[in-house]
A and B are shown apart, each in its own frame.
Chain A
Amino acid sequence: MSADLSQSPGHPPSHGAAGPSGSNRDAPEPVIKVRNLKVAFGDKVIMDGLDLDVMRGEILGFVGGSGTGKSVLTRTILGLVRKQRGTIEVFGENVDDLEGAARRTLERRFGVMFQHGALFSALSVKQNIQVPMREYLKLSPALLDEMAMLKLEMVGLKPDAADKAPSELSGGMIKRAALARALALDPEIVFLDEPTSGLDPIGAAEFDELIMTLKETLGLTVFMVTHDLDSLYSACDRIAALADKRVIAAGPLATMLASDHPWLKAYFGGERAQARLPAGQRRS
């Protein structure tokens, strides 16, 4: 498995070239390094002996069957779920060694978009985006408003969405507003939990494009839990698959398609996946 993990991220040519982290592209370094991870709830073992690398500047698509613990892994990396064993290194630092202020400094470099947005319902969209800014930064009121509007614009929301309550937003707008909040502190790694679930295909494609654009302009590393085959095909540089309590394969799409693991064969060999391939690559 380690052979799979150490593969260099396959950047499609269209995503290459200039970007804030362009200089780092040649020598990919893992920003998140998970080794031998075990997570269990009571007697129920969710993950055992899981290894995973997330490289700087890539969009990693994380797939797995329902209930295999994709979200649990995300939550474990974020420190929301306790692990039984194993190490998690972020930016080269073991998260277990970080306490108090150091831990909070690390968390500021994360941006998280939860599956259902998790926007604070009592606050307007603009106030939601400003929550982390108010907490961590010292901005003048005018600049605070302008920065919130900038984030709002960057995720493609109209200015009139700023003063709306989360309950007034459509599904796609909630996802965008949640992404804007995740980007509030200019994070280096963004975790997206099923960003396109519940969106129509057009909205989902727009969201994928948005994430690719933001990756280029802000130099983000994106860790994306997803079920959406379209996202995997169009947006992700690399894919990691979770099954049998560990990562069974990680690499570009071609690696997934070439894998002999039964779950991956079923996932990428199914009719819905095959329909997305050019005719020549389809399995007979």
Chain B
Amino acid sequence: MASLDTAEPQAVFHDDAGSLAIELTGSWSAERAPRIEALVAEMGERIASVSRATLDLSAIIRLDTLGAYVLNRLKNQREAAGGSVELVSRQPEHAVLLAEVNIHDCSVPPTVHHFGIVSVLVNIGEAMVRFGRDMVGGAMFLGEVVVGSASVMLGPRKFRGPPLVNQIELIAFNGAPIIMLISFLVGCIVAQQGIFQLQQFGASAFVVNLTGILILRELAVLLTSIMIAGRSGSAFTAEIGSMKMREEIDALRVMGLDPIEVLVVPRILALIISLPILTFISAMAGLTGAAVVSWLYGGIGIDTFLARLQSVITWKHFAVGLIKAPFMAFVIGLIASIEGLAVQGSAESLGRQVTASVVKAIFMVILVDGLFAMFFASIEF
């Protein structure tokens, strides 16, 4: 048996009054595919003009499935058109290979493509149905979480202290440094931009009002929620999802334990406790950043900054930020748990759900923040 052979495939034509004899030589294997395809096309044209053709494969050095397939296809195409083609070979393995490729139908099934407006409409429709299902599923899950929480409240024996404390450590304690850092930086940036713009009106002192209200009412809670959605929400989805993948959730169920009570309630509770703490820390870090920039860039001393802050900021601004935090926590925890429990068997599914969890949580956080803004505006709080 020749190894990967380099002998060029050849076809020698012997024309003989109405019948054509073609002698094939060389290596008819996949490495020679371009040459083979050209030869087969040429043979096809020549064969089409005669009623009978004989292809002699005896001198072929190496024949593989590709060579056998194209020769067999040539034979079948000609015979379908009413001609006669015979494949002969003195090598017994050629017959085996030709028989093998002949029994298989290799026609490529046509792929259905939807183009244009129809596929756009289909996508929109599917997205709407999915959105609706998400909403219904979310509402159902919310109910389960409420029931689970209630049963934990009513039966204190079911209350799981250690996982709750563990989760609070992971969310609040380990998450605090990065949240402080980004809040400080955002505080600096907002103050710098504020001073730069307000200077033109000689009103740079108002930067204290700007940063104070903005950070306390909106920025602290938003930054914290987005950070926690990315940091802890994704972790919840991954943890619960990998447990789902390895049937650990089912193991809990058959032991008579409710996965909502065991896995979801402690995590959501930990988020609800941690997020207001982190929001407060974030607000303080943001104000510090604003104060530092006001002093170094705007020439407003720290004592002036604090005095002005005290006069313009009422407890209302502070409360607005903090009131929103537990709701954000609940939204993040709920979405992370739903997505975690939606994981199917594969690792790709886990990756997809974690991404979906973070994207949906950040979207919902911003949406909820908008709703709160409308609510507080209308009650003039």
Contact = CB atoms under 8 A, between A and B. Distances in A.
B108 A21 contact: no
A261 to B, nearest CB: 35
Most buried by A among B69, B97, B99, B106: B106
B1 interface: yes
Contacts of B96: 18-20, 216-217
Given A18-B93, A150-B101, A167-B346, A108 B69 contact: no
A160 B348 contact: no
Contacts of B93: 18-22, 219
Contact of B65 (A139, A145, A150): A150
A149 B64 contact: no
Interface stretch (B31-39, B167-175, B372-380): B31-39
A267 interface: no
B105 interface: yes
Interface string A158-169: 011011000100
A93 B4 CA distance: 14
Nearest to A21: B1
Interface string B70-99: 100100000000000000000011011101
Given A21-B1, A109-B4, A185-B30, A153 B104 contact: yes
A21 B64 CA distance: 12
Nearest to B94: A20
Nearest to B92: A18
Contact of B1 (A24, A139, A145): A24
Interface string A214-256: 0011110000000000000000000000000000000000000
Interface string A100-138: 000001001100000000000100000000000100111
A146 interface: yes
B100 A217 contact: yes
A224 B33 CA distance: 30
B111 A108 contact: no
A218 B97 contact: yes
Contacts of A162: 108-109
The size bracket of the interface on B is 20 to 34
Contacts of B34: 138
Contact of A149 (B3, B31, B106): B106
B33 A137 contact: yes
Contact of A217 (B31, B73, B97, B111): B97
Given A150-B65, A167-B348, A145 B108 contact: yes
Contacts of A18: 92-93, 95-96
Nearest to B112: A163
A108 B3 CA distance: 11
Contacts of A146: 69, 73, 106-108
B4 A139 contact: no
Contacts, number: 96
A89 interface: no
Contacts of B262: none
A121 B347 CA distance: 10
A91 interface: yes
A21 B65 CA distance: 14
A197 B188 CA distance: 61
A105 B31 CA distance: 11
A153 B104 CA distance: 6
A219 B1 contact: yes
Interface in B90-133: 92-93, 95-97, 99-101, 104-109, 111
B181 to A, nearest CB: 36
A186 interface: yes
A154 interface: yes
Contacts of B100: 154, 217-218
A154 B104 contact: yes
Interface string B19-48: 000000000011101100100000000000
A150 B69 contact: yes
Contact of A186 (B29, B70, B111): B29
Given A137-B30, A143-B37, A149 B70 contact: no
A162 B110 CA distance: 11
A218 B106 contact: no
A5 interface: no
B247 to A, nearest CB: 16
Contacts of A105: 4
Nearest to A150: B106
Contacts of B99: 217
B219 to A, nearest CB: 39
A20 B67 CA distance: 14
Given A22-B93, A143-B70, A147-B69, A153 B30 contact: no
Contact of B66 (A19, A109, A147): A147
16 contacts: A19-B93, A20-B1, A21-B1, A21-B93, A121-B346, A137-B30, A137-B66, A138-B34, A146-B108, A147-B65, A149-B104, A149-B107, A159-B107, A218-B65, A218-B97, A218-B100
Interface of A: 18-22, 24, 91, 105, 108-109, 121, 133, 136-140, 142-143, 145-147, 149-151, 153-154, 159-160, 162-163, 167, 185-186, 188, 216-219
Q: Which 3 A/B pairs are nearest by Cβ-Cβ distance?
A: A20-B93, A153-B104, A186-B64
Given A18-B92, A159-B107, A186-B65, 4 more contacts: A20-B93, A109-B4, A143-B70, A186-B66
